[in-house]
Amino acid sequence: MPDIESTTIIWIAIAALIVFGIFVVNNKARRGLAFAIRAILGVAAVFAINTAFAGFGLAVGINFLTVAVVAFLRLPGIAMLYSLGFII
């Protein structure tokens, strides 16, 4: 059985860390992209609902907080924003 040199072991470890790093970065990028897509679609939905119900005086402002709520909570977040707008 041949003896494995220490440099070979180091190169194998570096390659394994690079592959692991690629998977971690790819996963974080995928999560960030999904969050951004949910935020954009949520803002579009809030804008469409505001336009549809403009005659009733029920509108939710589009700002950083509403974008965050819609991106995190999705459809229940939109329902919560409009129910709070209805109550207040």
* pTM, entire model: 0.71
Mean pLDDT of 39-61: 90
Domain, as residue range, for 22: 6-87
The band of 88, judged by pLDDT with boundaries at 50, 70 and 90, is: confident
% residues pLDDT > 90 (the chain): 44
Is there a domain that residue 81 lies in? yes
Rounded to the nearest 10 degrees, what angle do helices 64-73 and 6-52 cross at?
110
User: Chain-centre distance of CA 68, in angstroms?
Assistant: 9
Upper half-sphere CA count for residue 44 (Cβ side, 13 Å): 6
What's the DSSP call for residue 57? Answer: T
Q: Is residue 1 part of a domain?
A: no
Contacts of 58 (CB under 8 A, 6+ apart): 82, 85, 86
| Residue 52 within a domain | yes
pLDDT tens digits along 2-32: 556 777 878 878 887 788 777 788 888 888 8
pLDDT of the residue at 73: 94
Structural domain count of the chain: 1
pLDDT band at 43 (very low <50, low <70, confident <90, very high): very high
